[in-house]
């Protein structure tokens, strides 16, 4: 297979090559800076959930900031607390998927046993493992921040 792929590299008009990697962070925020989506917790294409994680994360982040009356430290901490386990389940699935593709060797660890109850529980947590509160009615940031002043509008 490899020689056939290499033989076509120079001619193909749509060749795509990238690394498969995860972003695993100890924390997703510091001070007034918060991370979201791939920047905080890219799961990698090995799990296939990156878009969902980014969208759910955006919803929870906005909602928790509003619920915290736009106090960033409280909002970020609540966002991370709600999302962590959900994100970690998806990242674990990606790692298991990668491990299951290892080329077996004499010293290789045995591949994961996907028939166990633990795997069903992991998949359940990866799909439904985050509660999505109804944040309707909370004030948006503009209400509390008030109109932009000349000094606050500077970059
Ligand atoms: C090959 C591949 C296959 C995938 N398949 C799936 C799949 O089947 N299902 C799935 O759910 N997910 C899949 N994903 C993952 C999914 O694409 C990502 O998890 C998702 O796009 C993350 O969204 P995001 O908004 O965090 O980041 P992105 O979608 O990467 O958005 C970040 C944006 O920021 C822009 N940007 C970067 N730097 C700057 C800057 N300095 N200033 C301004 N803008 C900037 C970028 O141009 C980009 O538009 C796949 C990813 C890859 C690479």
Which residue's alpha carbon is nearest to atom 28 within ligand 1? 38
Indicate whether 150 pLDDT > 60.
Answer: no
Indicate whether 145 pLDDT > 70.
Answer: no
CA pair distance 85, 100, nearest whole angstrom? 22
- 140 or 40, higher pLDDT: 40
Indicate whether 67 pLDDT > 80.
Answer: yes
Probe target for ligand 1 pocket from 50, 57, 93, 155, with the most ligand atoms within 8 Å of CB? 50
Q: At 126, is the secondary structure helix, strand, or coil?
A: helix
What is the reported pLDDT for 146? 55
The average pLDDT across 84-108 equals 86
What is the reported pLDDT for 98? 87
The pLDDT-based confidence of 17 (bands split at 50, 70, 90) is: confident
Residue given tokens 């997703």 in the structure block: 28
CA of 19 from ligand 1 middle (Å) equals: 14
pTM here is 0.86
**Tokens at 155, concatenated:** 């970059």
CA of 152 from ligand 1 middle (Å) equals: 30
Indicate whether 144 pLDDT > 70.
Answer: no
The average pLDDT across 68-89 equals 97
Indicate whether 155 pLDDT > 60.
Answer: no
Given the CA of residue 42, which atom of ligand 1 is nearest to it?
19
- 109 or 17, higher pLDDT: 17
Does residue 21 line the site of ligand 1, with CB under 6 A?
no
Q: Where are the alpha helices (DSSP H) in 68-103?
A: 72-100
CA of 143 from ligand 1 middle (Å) equals: 31
CB atoms near residue 136 (< 10 Å): 6
Share of the chain above pLDDT 70, in %: 88
């Amino acid at each position: 297979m490899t020689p056939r792929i290499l033989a076509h590299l120079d001619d193909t008009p749509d060749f795509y090559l990238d690394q498969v990697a995860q972003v695993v962070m100890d924390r997703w925020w510091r001070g007034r800076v918060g991370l979201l989506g791939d920047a905080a917790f890219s799961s990698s294409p090995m799990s296939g959930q990156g878009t969902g994680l980014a969208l759910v994360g955006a919803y929870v982040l906005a909602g928790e900031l509003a619920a915290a009356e736009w106090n960033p430290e409280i909002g970020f901490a609540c966002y991370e607390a709600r999302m962590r386990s959900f994100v970690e389940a998806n990242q674990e699935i990606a790692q298991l998927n990668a491990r299951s593709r290892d080329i077996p060797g004499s010293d290789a660890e045995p591949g994961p046993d996907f028939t166990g109850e633990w795997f069903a529980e992991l998949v359940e947590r990866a799909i439904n493992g985050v509660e999505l509160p109804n944040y309707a009615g909370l004030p948006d940031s503009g209400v509390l921040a008030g109109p932009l002043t000349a000094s606050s509008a500077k970059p």
